[in-house]
Homo-oligomer: A and B are copies of this chain.
Amino acid sequence: MDAEPVSDHGELFSPVSVGRISQVIIEQVRLLIRQGKLKPGDRLPSERALCGRFGVSRVTVREALRVLEATGLVEIRVGARGGAIVAEPSSDSVGEGIADLLTLSALSASEVTETRMVIEVSLIPLVVARAGADDLAELTEICRAQEAALAENRHHSTELSAAFHTRLAGCSHNAAVAMLVQSFHGPLLASLDAAAATAPEMGRRGIEEHLQLVEAIAAKDADLAAEIMRAHLARTAGRLAEA
């Protein structure tokens, strides 16, 4: 008899049915969305309909939808005419993920701040080149709101500060850059709160820097604006380091 008749045949045999069925469904839907065959707002068939379509049980379909929902790809509504709706691309779920990584100390606050400096400082040239009058007006508006909040509550709103930075990224008129910065919105809030706890009186200075930034951008002075942004972020980083 031949020795080892079924082993060492290399590529002859390949594993059959790898992974979960729900995973196959997930990737199938994902592909459809990426190919644009499913666009935001489109309604997927009902769970029961999908069961028949894929030839699987409802449990399996539901697990796939759960993952797609957690990934932020679809939104699920209950009731008649409910079901899975392809969601508008949003950076929210990504932001939560980064926040998780922060709290799990897989990312340090300094790493996140450093990353912000990398991105936000070097996107300044884009902003200077492309910011329109309406962009500047909105930035100024946010600064005004910050001043109002400061006058009223005696401490500056970290929410508004984060909004300023997010809106500033939007002034680059580059959706990819804007989304990246927006992803840091949530984690950014946490850092700002920590920094505010360290030095609550710094709110005013932060607002002044925001205003100077807007002025520099309006004056098309990219170098000055970048320098202001660098100093602004470095100051926040410094306060975080103290804590």
Query: A residues touching B (Cβ–Cβ < 8 Å)?
Result: 22, 30, 33-34, 59, 62-63, 66-67, 69-73, 89-91, 93-94, 97-98, 100-107, 111-112, 114-115, 118-119, 121-123, 126, 174-177, 179-180, 183
Contacts of A102 in B (CB 8 A): 176, 179
Tell me if A89 and B115 are in contact (CB < 8 A): no
Contacts of A174 in B (CB 8 A): 111, 114-115
List 14 A–B pairs whose Cβ atoms lie within 8 Å, in order of A's numbering. Answer: A22-B66, A34-B103, A59-B62, A63-B66, A66-B66, A70-B71, A93-B97, A98-B176, A98-B183, A101-B183, A112-B176, A114-B177, A115-B177, A180-B180
Tell me if A118 and B119 are in contact (CB < 8 A): yes
Measured in the bound complex, the distance between the Cα atoms of B64 and A67 in whole Å is 10
Given known contacts A106-B91, A111-B174, A175-B105, A97 and B71 CB-to-CB distance under 8 angstroms: yes
Determine which of B30, B118, B175 lies in contact with A177 in the assembled complex, contact meaning CB atoms within 8 Å: B118
Contacts of A66 in B (CB 8 A): 22, 63, 66-67, 70
Contacts of A106 in B (CB 8 A): 89-91, 175
**Copies of this chain, whole number:** 2
Contacts of A119 in B (CB 8 A): 118-119, 122, 180
Interface centre among A72, A123, A180 (most CB of B within 10 A): A180
Tell me if B115 and A176 are in contact (CB < 8 A): yes
Measured in the bound complex, the distance between the Cα atoms of B66 and A69 in whole Å is 11
Tell me if A73 and B100 are in contact (CB < 8 A): yes
Given known contacts A114-B174, A114-B177, A126-B114, A71 and B100 CB-to-CB distance under 8 angstroms: yes
Determine which of B67, B91, B176 lies in contact with A70 in the assembled complex, contact meaning CB atoms within 8 Å: B67
User: Which single residue of chain B is at the shortest CB-CB distance from A26?
Assistant: B70
User: Which single residue of chain B is at the shortest CB-CB distance from A94?
Assistant: B97
Contacts of A33 in B (CB 8 A): 104
Measured in the bound complex, the distance between the Cα atoms of B179 and A103 in whole Å is 12
